Structure 1
Amino acid sequence: MRRFPLSLLAGLALALPAPARQAAPADTLRQYELAPVVVTATRAPRHLEDVAVPVSVVTAEALALRGRLRLADALAELPGLTLVYDHGTGIQIQGFDPDYTLVLIDGEPVIGRTAGTLDLERLAVAGLERVEIVRGPTSSLYGNEALAGVINLITRPPEGTLRGNLSARYGTHASTDLQATAETGNEHLGLRLLLDRYASDGYDLDASTTAPTAPAFTDYTADLRFEVRPRDGLTLRLGARLNDQDQQSPLTLTAGTASTGARSFEERTDWSLHPAVRARISRRLSLEGDLYLARYRTESRLRLDDGTLYSQDRFDQRYAKAELQGRLVWDLRHLTTLGAGLIEERLDADRYAERPEARAAFAFLQHEWLPSRLVELNASARLDAHTDYATRVSPKLAVLLRPSERLRVRLSLGKGFKAPDFRQRYLSFTNPTAGYSVLGATELNDGLAALEAAGQIQERYLDPAGLATIRAEHSTALNAGLTAEPLDRLSLSLNVFYNDVRDLIETQPVARKTNGSFVYSYFNLNRIYTRGLESEVTFTPWPALTLTGSYQFLQAHDRDVIEAIEDGRVFGRDASGRDVRLRRSDYGGLFGRSTHSGTLGLSYRPASDGPGLSLRGIWRGRYGYRDVDGNAIPNRDDEFVDGYVLWNLTVTYDWRTRPLERLRLQAGVDNLFDVTRPAQIPALSGRRLYAGFQIDL
């Protein structure tokens, strides 16, 4: 009788969480321990080794032993991920800006982006079970914003016992983190409440200015998880999350030769509510229903030292989604997943001329087929019908080959898209200090007419009436890779990727104002590609010690720029001020992308209690960050940030003694060798020390 992988049956037929794996023979125990369960890649529980697309997982315990508190710090140490500091801390995957990565909590989107960046510092890792990262376009299952990949924060379900923990940490810049968790339940229900307070006095890398580099802030998070299991095969869940932050900082306003003191106040509140039901209808059929409500609000105020309100800016985004999903296991070879839903978004903000609303309907279909024990095929497609842009269909095909128990080969080809957001369609904003204006594509015609009527336009560069409607950005992507275990203690992974992106939305000046500044709007302009290689090695010479290393090679280029260079139409300016025609080798690619990057790691953990040590290195090669000679591309050495390496060290000691379940002491240092780039990377604050404890009850 032929043997087939049990991945389709190990949780796929059940909407309930995957059951614990049974004990395995000694010769296969190693393999099972290295195969965590993931849900993001196929929207169903699968063992990591049986997923056909590039996926990585980091567990809550791994994050705790590294001393990570916020999602940004957690992702910075993972292979192939790069932090981007622009209107917050975002993440770069396969060379894509943060705009193109979808961030989820238990499968539902986190809203509230600023200039396209979702600030990962907003998200605490407390209460998580694991973080899953899917690389490559995943629009065939998740739709908009999943062009580069998906990051899914999986919360830990409440356990059926009375337990809790308390923790506190203090560090450089008077940073503090206070946390308390309590949970209770029985075999039919579970409840957990988590409270977290995170604060800092900020820091200043430039004493010549009044405003600090990073302002002081206080951040509060409350997270509630409730689960009821009235009978076998039926689970009702409720997830609720609230985050609130206040920050303030002094600054100086200058007008001509006069200056006055002022203070900036920023308030941010976001919350989400996620009721869900998981029902096993039969041995072969399961259903999932989800409702999701979210709101993100910010308010910025600038007050002069005498208390006068100088400026104010409000932003209020609301999001609602309803979704139904079903899974049917036909037999050992075939599994079908089908889902559909509705989305509604609303925005009320001072920078928008109206209150935009948008609605969308979507449906997706996925079929998994195992023609033999060596091959698994996964085909999926999603249809998105939106009120503000054309209907899109996003297909994807993935293949998993198992030549042996120690080798997996993965191939995937898919399409992704990112729709124009509210900012790119409806923004209507004039900077009161700098004097420039930004108009969304929908507001461009009326906005320019209003500025002309006010006598503020000196010259138009184009006629908005002749412009095409702004379109969604779209990509075609190929990923090909393998994972191998040549030895019991050695594992290797390799992934080659290629992303071809069309209709990239960029800003461009459309008119010059009488004050000398410009009016900007959004257009489908660029054609880019990103391609490269991701690799990782893990070596465990003995159970207490794990060594890891990763390397990424990346090329992210604008096709239009390359064509212009090859045609001899692009010039630069050398240090003496002389114009020179550029060659293709002079082109440094898209700004903010390092051609070479990597990580190193050492983890020592001899037992579940006692000492533990974690040392991590993050290497980022040089990358372009500014345009000195006016050609809008990085080509001179003084337009690049030099490469650097950051080292983080954490030491942990655990005691397990009554009446406590566990006492954990931890100390560490981030940026061990005090690397800073004040003018280029203000987010690098220098060496940061911390120490803290956690009591598990």
Structure 2
Amino acid sequence: MRFKSIFIIAVLFPLLCLSQQQVEKTKDTVLTQQLNEVVVTATRTIRQLSSLPLPAQLIARKELKETNRTRLNTILNEQTGLITVQNFIGGEGIQMQGLDSEYTLVLIDGVPLIGRSAGTLDLSRLSIGNIKQIEIVKGASSSLYGSEALGGVINIITEKSNKNGVHGNLMHRYGTFNENETNINLDYKKENVTLGAFVNRSSSDGYNLNNATNINTLDPYFNYTFNTRLNYNVTENTKFLASARYFLQDSDYIPTSTESGESKTREWNAHVKANHKYNEKWSSYFEFYASRYFAEDYLNNIEDNSQFSESFYKELLIRPEIRAAYKVNEKSSFIGGLGLDYETLKRTDFSTTPKFTSPFVYFQYDTNPNENLNILLGARFDGHNEYNSQFSPKAAFRYQITDKLAAKGSMGYGFKAPDFRQLYFDLEGIAGYTILGYNVVNTRVPEMLDSGEIENENDIVVPLSNFNGKLNPENSISYNFGVTHNPISTLKLEVNFFRNDIKDLIDTQLVANKTNGSGVYSYKNVKKAFTQGIEFNSSWRISNSLKIAGGYQFLLAKDKDAIEAFKNGDAFASNPGSGSFKLNEDDYFGLFNRSKHMANFKIFYTNTQHNFNTNLRVNYRSKYGILDTNSNTYLDRYDDFVEAYMLWNCAINKTFKEKYELGIGIDNIFDFTDEPTSNNDFTFINNIPGRIFYAKLNIQF
């Protein structure tokens, strides 16, 4: 603790002293920055961030650059109310407002990323070396974006050059665990044509936190990202965009001490868009997007090199879309669009090659009845060939109470469609169990009866007639209400209350008992849950040189059926030597992998006279439970928890001769790790590797 206190004082004191430079220019600078903070994700129109009626955040290019972050998951972890959680080996998804990562839609330049092999989209595969800004919209956004936007949207906006001629930059970062990251950005602009190219290579030797077994927590890997972009202004009113991205990754795959293999990932996407402005009132655009994601892995027995397993995953998405905007007058406007999603998936352990066809149509009305009030109304209809159609309305408002105080609120419907896995699985587990997708049960169970895998009809515990309909999408009603207060031009305070009422959550169920003693499992709509809490954000620009920001989230996330079980005395726990005992309402903690408290604190200092900047960022997460350790299926106070922790990160960057920038930093300054104590200890953090030292060189040309 003494070292930590000395370090904090050593960092903060000189920053506060130096912050007094150029104080008289602060007000103008803050106003300029606020005007530049525009977003497109929340409404699909260009809006100033401060005027939005929705809870939204913007991570600007300046923060991305100064923190020396290189992958998307690392920068999102430092934002209020966001945390990446590891839902499967090697992949980190984002949790927002306490909702699982499968409920957050991730976009690049407004089009979706695919490849959710286990419901989670691995954000660590995304480089941020060519990103202009990241826009985050919290709360149900299906009224504009359809499925997977039940909890919110993250849109990654790539950089577009505005400078004439040829220019670019080269960056290399080296860090602990032999981490290497290299970026090359090239841009060319002449008159109406802009060309851009981006190449990234990332690699690591991995790391091992598990001292009880000789297995890497993160296996060695290397990956490449290639991105090209063409912008062509055909006329003043007609603009054309074409972009393409390709990602490849190879990594070792060593899940146990007896098997080893390799894992490969390949992904490409292509995006074409044409905009045309007909007159001062009408404009439209046509967009075509296609993406393919491929992953495969194999495992061999280490002892004799015989094959243990292999699997593959091939997903394709094709999306055409057309949108029109109509400006009624200076106070009101409409946008509307229609399109089609076509998806296919080939995967190991699937009964068929499924094809999803989903037409959609949406509209939005944005109006300002008076100078203080903004109202946003929208809705979307999604049809589907395999699940029930969805209608997703949303309403939001913002009211400027005084020059310094504004209130905003929103209510919307969000949904998450059943994925391919929940509909078409036909998986025979190593332990003898079988998992069937909802649409497969009526075909496979009779076949298992005929083959003797199920002895007789009495072993079918769920009537097959229950599978005659369709599995419903998971859905939620999202509520957000917040207040923004600017007591002075350099200080911004925001508070937002939120609640997500979720129903039709998809859960597994036992369908039949097999003759080998195992079960046949499938999926059903049963669970109901909610997440609710409060989020606070603050930003204070003390001077042009110094900025302090912080945020806090309090979260309650609970299963409604579990609440009833604890309330009615139907939940029990056991302690060694004391037997089983009844639990009460206060013993229920909530959903797994959620913390009640999360907070962050950031200090950014810039010295323009000497061309350097430095920052300190701190993140806190309170205790949480990963799994049930007392075998009652609930997370209660008698389970084992991951204890609360803090991560401290710092960075220093110095520019030489305007074109050369050297950066150094430490991630996880105090070397926090949470390692397992034995082979049977599963309550530990497996995505925090310990202290990382790094150095970065960036060259502009």
The TM-score normalised by the length of structure 1 is 0.92
Q: Does 1:211 align with 2:215?
A: yes
| d(CA) in 2 for partners of 1:553, 1:225 | 41
1:287 aligns with 2:290: no
Pairing of 1:475-494 with structure 2 (within 5 A):
475-494=476-495
Distance in 1, matches of 2:609 and 2:55, equals: 30
Structure 1 residues 53-202: aligned runs within 5 Å = 53-87=54-88, 88-159=91-162, 160-202=164-206
1:566 aligns to 2:567 (yes or no):
yes
- Partner SS for 1:274: strand
Report which structure shows greater RCO (CA 8 Å, sep ≥6): 2
In structure 2, what is the equivalent of residue 231 of structure 1? 235
Give the C-alpha shift of residue 208 in structure 1. Answer: 4.1
The one-letter amino acid paired with 1:688 is: I
Residues 28/655 of structure 1: CA separation in 2 closer, same or farther (3 Å cut): closer
Q: Aligned partners of 1:117, 1:70: CA distance in 2, in Å? A: 16
Deviation sequence 1:156-204 (CA, Å, 0-9, x none) = 1233431011111111111101111111121210001110000011111
Q: What's 1:364 paired with?
A: 362
Structure 1 residue 465 corresponds to structure 2 residue 469: no
Is residue 49–residue 408 contact of structure 1 (8 Å, CA) maintained in 2?
no
Q: Counterpart in 2 of 1:447?
A: 444
- Equivalent position of 1:273 in the other structure: 270
Match of 2:427 among 420, 426, 429: 429
- Kept in 2, the 8 Å contact 1:137–1:416? The answer is yes
Q: 1:106 to 1:350 in 2, by over 3 A?
A: same
Cα deviation 1:387-414 (Å, max 9, x = unaligned): 1112211000100111233222111111
* 2: CA distance, partners of 1:482 / 1:44: 23
The 5 Å alignment of 1:42-61 reads 42-61=43-62
Query: CA separation of 1:464/1:32 partners in 2, compared to 1, >3 Å: closer, same or farther?
Result: farther
Alpha-carbon contact 2:388-2:470 (below 8 Å) kept: no
Q: Does the Cα contact within 8 Å between 2:30 and 2:490 map onto a contact in 1?
A: no
Aligned 8 A contact 1:76 1:83 in 2: yes
1:296 match: secondary structure: strand
Distance between the aligned counterparts of 1:287 and 1:206, measured in 2? 55
Moved more, 297-306 or 547-556: 297-306
Superposed CA deviations along residues 247-285 of structure 1, whole A, max 9, x for unmatched, are: 0144657xxxxxxx5421100001100000111111111
> What pairs up with 1:409-558 in 2 under 5 angstroms?
409-432=407-430, 434-457=431-454, 459-467=459-467, 468-558=469-559
Q: 1:173 to 1:337 in 2, by over 3 A?
A: same
Asked if 2 retains the 8 angstrom alpha-carbon contact of 1:303 and 1:311, the reply is yes
1:29 Cα deviation from its structure 2 partner = 5.9
Gaps of 5+ in 1: 1-24, 254-260
Q: Which amino acid aligns with 1:241?
A: R
Contact 2:27 2:489 in 1 (8 A): no
- Looking at structure 1, the residues matched to 381 and 80 of structure 2 have their Cα atoms a distance apart, in angstroms, of 32
The Cα offsets for residues 327-354 of structure 1, whole Å up to 9 and x where unpaired, read as 1111111100011111100011122110
For residues 174 and 107 of structure 1, what CA distance do their matches in structure 2 show?
A: 34
Structure 2 unaligned residues grouped into runs of 5+: 1-24, 677-683
Q: Tell me the secondary structure at the aligned position of residue 542 of structure 2.
A: strand
CA drift at 1:50: 1.1
Counting only pairs closer than 5 Å after superposition, residues 219-368 of structure 1 correspond to structure 2 as 219-250=223-254, 261-305=258-302, 307-368=305-366
The 1:147–1:608 alpha-carbon spacing in structure 2 relative to 1, beyond 3 Å, is farther
| Equivalent runs, 1:5-20 vs 2, <5 Å | none
Question: Contact (CA 8 Å) 2:630, 2:639: kept in 1 or not?
Answer: no
Distance 1:436 1:670 in 2: 43
In 1, Cα distance between the equivalents of 2:255 and 2:528?
A: 40
Q: For residue 295 of structure 2, what is the amino acid of its counterpart? A: T
Q: Secondary structure at the match of 1:63?
A: helix
Deviation at 1:82, TM superposition (A): 1.3
State the 1:656 CA deviation.
3.4
| In 2, Cα distance between equivalents of 1:137 and 1:568 | 34
1:158–1:225: 8 Å Cα contact kept in structure 2? no
Q: 1:209 to 1:519 in 2, by over 3 A?
A: farther
Contact 1:162–1:183 (CA<8 Å) still a contact in 2?
A: yes
C-alpha spacing 1:636/1:514, structure 2 compared with 1 (3 Å):
farther
Q: 1:629 to 1:603 in 2, by over 3 A?
A: same
Report the CA distance between 1:26 and its aligned residue.
Answer: 10
Letter in 2 for 1:144: S
- Judge conservation of contact 1:56–1:132 (CA < 8 Å) in 2: yes
CA distance in 1, matches of 2:441, 2:557: 30
Residue number among 374, 395, 408 corresponding to 2:406 in the alignment:
408
Q: Which residue is equivalent to 1:20? A: none
Structure 2 distance, partners of 1:163, 1:553, is 46
Please say if residues 483 and 494 of structure 2, whose CA atoms lie closer than 8 Å, have aligned partners that are also in contact. Answer: yes
Shift of 1:210: 4.2
**CA distance in 1 between partners of 2:623 and 2:26 (Å):** 47
The match for 2:582 is 581
Q: Write the distance in 1 (CA, Å) between the matches of 2:445 and 2:29.
A: 67
Q: Percent identity?
A: 34
Q: Which residue in the other structure is 2:685 paired with?
A: 681
Aligned amino acid, residue 505 of structure 1 = I
Residue deviations 1:210-259 (CA, integer Å, cap 9, x gap): 43211110110001111111211111001110000000144657xxxxxx
Distance 2:325 2:255 in 1: 56
2:198 touches 2:226 (CA, 8 Å); kept in 1? yes
Shift of 1:600: 0.9
Look up the equivalent residue of 1:281 and give its one-letter code: Y
- Report the more deviating stretch, 648-657 or 51-60: 648-657
Say if 1:634 and 1:640, in contact at 8 Å, map to a contact too.
no
1:9 equivalent in structure 2: none
Residue identity opposite 2:647 in structure 1: L
Instruction: Please give the alpha-carbon distance, in whole angstroms, between the structure 2 residues aligned to 1:595 and 1:401.
Output: 30
- The aligned amino acid for 1:564 is A
The one-character-per-residue Cα deviations of 1:417-441 (angstroms, maximum 9, x if unpaired) are 1111111111111233x33322111
Aligned residues of 1:212 and 1:249 also touching (Cα < 8 A): no
Q: In the alignment, is residue 690 of structure 1 matched against residue 688 of structure 2?
A: no
Equivalent residues of 1:57, 1:130 under 8 A apart:
yes
CA distance in 1, matches of 2:585, 2:618: 32
Amino acid in structure 1 at the alignment position of 2:364: Q
* Post-superposition offset of 1:506: 1.3
1:134/1:295 Cα in 2 relative to 1: closer, same or farther (>3 Å)?
same
CA distance in 2, matches of 1:450, 1:671: 55
Secondary structure at the aligned position of 1:647 is classed as strand
User: SS at the partner of 1:133?
Assistant: strand
CA spacing shift, 1:307–1:294, aligned 2, 3 Å: same
Deviation at 1:454, TM superposition (A): 4.2
Seen in structure 2, the aligned counterparts of structure 1 residues 455 and 688 have a Cα distance that, compared at 3 Å, is farther
Shift of 1:511: 3.1
Match of 2:665 in 1: 668
The range that moved more, 537-546 or 92-101, is 537-546
Report the CA distance shift for 1:461/1:58 in structure 2 as closer, same or farther (over 3 A).
same
**Structure 1 residues 624-633 or 27-36, which shifts more?**
27-36
Cα displacement string for residues 310-330 of structure 1 (whole angstroms, at most 9, x for unaligned residues):
322111000000001111111
